[in-house]
Every structure is written in C-alpha cells, then in structure tokens.
Structure 1
C-alpha cells in the first residue's frame, strides 16, 4: 500500500507558480499529521517514519493505536481498529473508498446514546463497524438514501452486509431492520421490518410505509435517472 520515506524529498521547483513544491507538501503533511496525533493522544507512539502513498504527495504515519492519513484533498484524519482493518482489506486509498474525510467516530442508538462500534466516512463511501455485524462498507446511492433516513439512528439501524452491485446496475445493502436498493431505472426501494416504502416502483402506494412523512418526501425527490455518485 505504501513505500517508506527513506530518501529525502526532491526540492525542484514545480512546473507552475501556483503549484506547491513536493518538499512544501511534505512539510504540510508532517505538520498536519502531528497535529492530528496531538488531538488523539491514545494513538500512542509512532511505529515508523511517514510513508508516502502511491505516486502523489499523500502520506500516512502509523502509531501504536492506529494511523493518520493526509492528502491535500482531505486533510489529516485518523483511522483505527476494525474500521482501519476493513479499509486496508479493500485496498485502502487505492480502492473506491479513497482517503478518510472524517476521524473514526462512535455509532449511536436511536435515542442518541453511544452503542458499541464505530464508523468513518471516506471519499467514496463509509465503513460502519459493530461487534454484532462486523465492519461493513456502505456507498453510492444506498449510502445517500440511508443518510437521508438518519444513518444508524434511523429506522433501518446498522448495515449487516456490504453494499453490492447486482444485475442491471442494482445497488443494494441489508441493514438490521430492512434493506435499501437503488437503480437508475427504478429509483429507490426501502424495505423496513416487512413494510415497503418506494418513491417510484409499481404498487408502492399500496404499501404500509414504516417511514415518517418527512422521510417519504425526501425519498420522493430521488427519481429514476438521478445520477449516483459512483
């Protein structure tokens, strides 16, 4: 995933006056990673030098309790535990998830109290972890619909499976209390505890929806043909 920063960064001038030099970006990354480490003392001591990720000016430093990543697009964010393990298993920054855009954060019950588990958002999706269901990737329009419905605090609860791409572009994922599916041809489908709510599918008007009116209106905006993020 990464190469060790064992050689000095080149300091030649960039091709454009508006582009920072690699040496400048490295210094920015080091400072940002250090500041993030200072925010989270539980990360512990460093386990090595700053690592350069890929061919660009993107960096990571590992600590006893996790890692801090930096890119000019996303800034510095920490990842740790099962969320970090899942991210790396999917290819880390080279995967569809890309770089983290938030630190790892606890998950919550519907009443707002903290429940066991954690999550982090990435450029191309989110990873949610719980002891009951493991670490799961939620992405694309499935993630957007789930967000509209309140994330894990909503009626669906936490994901119990990764978001999967099926036949004819159907993107779907299962949650503790139901399922979300999306295709550009048919739009959103939300199934909650045996009741179906759909903005576009035939027969939706006969379903007994478990969603509140505000959520129904939000789903109604997601018409077929709406462009998903990935």
Structure 2
C-alpha cells in the first residue's frame, strides 16, 4: 500500500509539473471555461494538485475545483483526459487549437510598410507643423505645407478610425481566438503592431498561425 501511495504521489507531481511547465494555456482555458473566470484572472492560474476525482487550481488567490467526469480509474488516464477537457474548452470558448505564444517583429516588406505608416502617423499628428511660416513650409515649400494643412484632419482622423476598427476586429478574431491573453505583454505588442500596421500585421499573424498548424500536423503523423 505504501509503495502504491508513493507511485500515486509521484504520478500526481509529474502531471502538475508537466501542466505548469508546458500547458499553462490549457490551465487558463480550464479556468475560463469550467470555472467561468475572466481571461485576465485566469492568466494567473496555477494547478496546485490533481487526484483521481479532479484538479485543484488557484487564480488570483481564489481556489477552484474542476472535477473529472467520470473520475479517473488510474493516473495513466490523466493525459488523455486533460487533453479531452482542453478540447471541450476550445469548443466552448470558440478558440483555435493553435496557441500563439510569440511576437515576430515586422521585417522585409512588412517592415517597410510598418515604417511608412508609422511615419505618416507621426508626420500628420500635428496640424500646426503645416501652418504658414511653419517648419514644413520652411523646409519643403509652401505648396506641400498648404496641401498637408488642408488634408491633415481628414488623413489623420481617417487613419485613426480605420486602424481602430481593424484593431477592434483583430482582438477577438485573432488574439482571443488563439489564446493570447490580455494580461500578457505579448497581447499588447500585437495590439500595438496592429494599431500601426493594420492589415499587414493581420497577414503576419495569419502566416504564423499557418506555420504552427503545419508543424503541428507533421508532429501528429
């Protein structure tokens, strides 16, 4: 009996360590789906222990119990069960099975697009720069200054509206769908990139998702 208890304790510790190290995104989803915890709170989730009847987790100091239904017959069933439960979470939360856990800086043509759009935002952020006698008129001529003065409110305002709308779509359709949590710096890096680059950022994100999907498909074969 003592020997079996020791084996069970070792199995429990392996499960907890493995989930914490390699599958924290699953722990977050368990809390969101089964315990109805917000994504922000769930990000702090910790799997504290597991037994044949369920898992014990904490998030922001609050304890949560998620039962196994039906209970496990042995700990050898744990891996299959937690994977199955995560699949239930993905379906229930409307998430993809591809988790994005990194940010890739724009390079190549995406880098050029990012720099150009950021430059336009910066250049047209202040209308007084284009006023008569201002820095643009003195540096680049009166014609460009007058033209830019007229279009500045429309150009800058239009860019803000369009990019804000794109960001509002990007967050649920891509970040939330691929389990990028709003409590992480990764989430805000992607938001900043999307706010500047718009469609170009969405294309980079989609390319990363596809790359991970292909890699996952190869691992399964």
Report TM bin, short chain: under 0.3
Could you say which structure has the greater relative contact order, defined with CA pairs below 8 angstroms and 6 or more residues apart?
A: 2
> Higher helix proportion, which one?
2
Q: TM-score, normalised by structure 1?
A: 0.24
